[in-house]
Structure 1
Amino acid sequence: MVKLAAKCILAGDPTVGKTALAQIFRSDGAHFQKNYTLTTGVDLVVKTVPVPDTGDSVELFILDSAGKELFSEMLDKLWESPNVLCLVYDVTNEQSFTSCSKWLEKARSQMPGATLPGVLVGNKTDLASRRVVESAQTRAWALGQGLECFETSVKEMENYKAPFHYLAKQFHHLYREKLEVFQALV
């Protein structure tokens, strides 16, 4: 039984639901914050995720970072050497999806030449009548960037675990690959 630790960057524009996603994941659906407070730096959420069929687990250190450019320079140091990335956008806000390119570029610049497993998460699917960003559009973009795509409604507690479980599984897979290479050298 192996317990790994992974640094997960949670990125996206302000008000897309990053903090709500992290909080509800940490509390297993028991805590949905109705009152919104703008994250002004970084909040740390830690949660252990079991990796199916292995007996292993990954402790995700989720850095829930501010979405405002104002805090961008402060984040640079905290964003160093991430293991996995969770990009979040709001399905009712086209600009929040467009900004994902910028967030992805910023995260990947911290790990030049390395593989950075990631997910793209469309939040607020409960606001279906206000939706402006289509699933097919985001899925195509995500696949083109090597990301897995998820949609969620944190408010309705729908599919909020899936992105993090996927990231833990991907991180574990990379670990196993590196371990095999190392064992082949010995």
Structure 2
Amino acid sequence: MVKLSAKCIVAGDSTVGKSTLVQLFRSNGSHFLKNYSMTTNVDVVMKMVQLSDTGDSVETFWKGSCDPGNAFYYQLDGSVHTKQWDQPGCFCLVYDITNEASFNSCAKWLQKVRSKTSSPQLPGVLVGNKTDLLDRRAVDKMEAQEWAVRNGLEYFETSGKDLENFEQPFQSLAKAVHHMYQERMENFKSLV
């Protein structure tokens, strides 16, 4: 049995539901904050993800909730504080399906995350959150899926409030990290 470890960055605009999704995943859906205040420092959440098809596990360290209004995360030039974002093993971009500006910001977040790694293959997902508000949808699902594919990301839609699909993006990232590990081991074995 293999136990891996990966740091994941969860990024997106304020109030898109980053902390809620991470907390739901960590607590297996039993921790939804109805009266939520904006995160004022870095959320660091750890969870062991068991991969049922292999028996292996990936311990994930989720660092997220870097909101634009919080000077703690940003230097004067607007760049993300490097200590929190250096060398991620995977990432999750979150936007609010009722807020087109939050979707448009994903390009900026993607660029910032990718600038913090030396790896050419960094597993990532795009998450459209708040599907419980479908009647207020401002971002077309097909448009978001196409953007994700163009940028090498898997796409998911979730609702923290309704507990829909909140675990799928994180399970997908754990599997991708495990797959990258297996590929590296096979390459290493072929050299020996």
RMSD over equivalenced CA pairs, Å: 1.2
Q: Percent identity?
A: 55
Deviations 1:160-185 (A, max 9, x none): 00000000000000000001111122
Q: TM-score under structure 2 normalisation?
A: 0.93
- TM-score norm. by structure 1 comes to 0.96
Counterpart Cα distance in 1 of 2:176 and 2:25: 18
**Cα deviation digits, residues 2-26 of structure 1 (max 9, x gap):** 1100000000000000000000110
Q: Does 1:148 align with 2:140?
A: no
What are the within-5 Å matches in structure 2 for residues 17-166 of structure 1? 17-68=17-68, 70=71, 71-73=73-75, 75-112=81-118, 114-166=120-172
- CA displacement 1:85-113 (0-9 Å, x = unmatched): 00000000000000000000000001145
Q: Which runs of 5+ in 2 are unaligned?
A: none
Shift of 1:84: 0.4
**Length, aligned pairs only:** 186
Secondary structure of residue in 2 paired with 1:126? helix
Which segments of 5 or more consecutive residues in structure 1 lack a partner in the other structure?
none
Q: Deviations over 1:104-148 (max 9, x none)?
A: 000000114521110000000000111101100000000000000
2:87–2:118 Cα contact (<8 Å) kept: no
Letter in 2 for 1:67: D
For structure 1, which segment, 35-44 or 131-140, has the greater mean C-alpha deviation from structure 2 after superposition?
Answer: 35-44
Distance 1:94-1:52 versus aligned 2 partners, 3 A rule: same
- Give the distance between the partners of 1:113 and 1:6, measured in 2 at CA: 13
Question: 1:171 corresponds to which residue?
Answer: 177
Distance in 1 (CA, whole Å) between partners of 2:81 and 2:9 is 10
Runs of 4+ in structure 1 over 2 Å off: 69-75
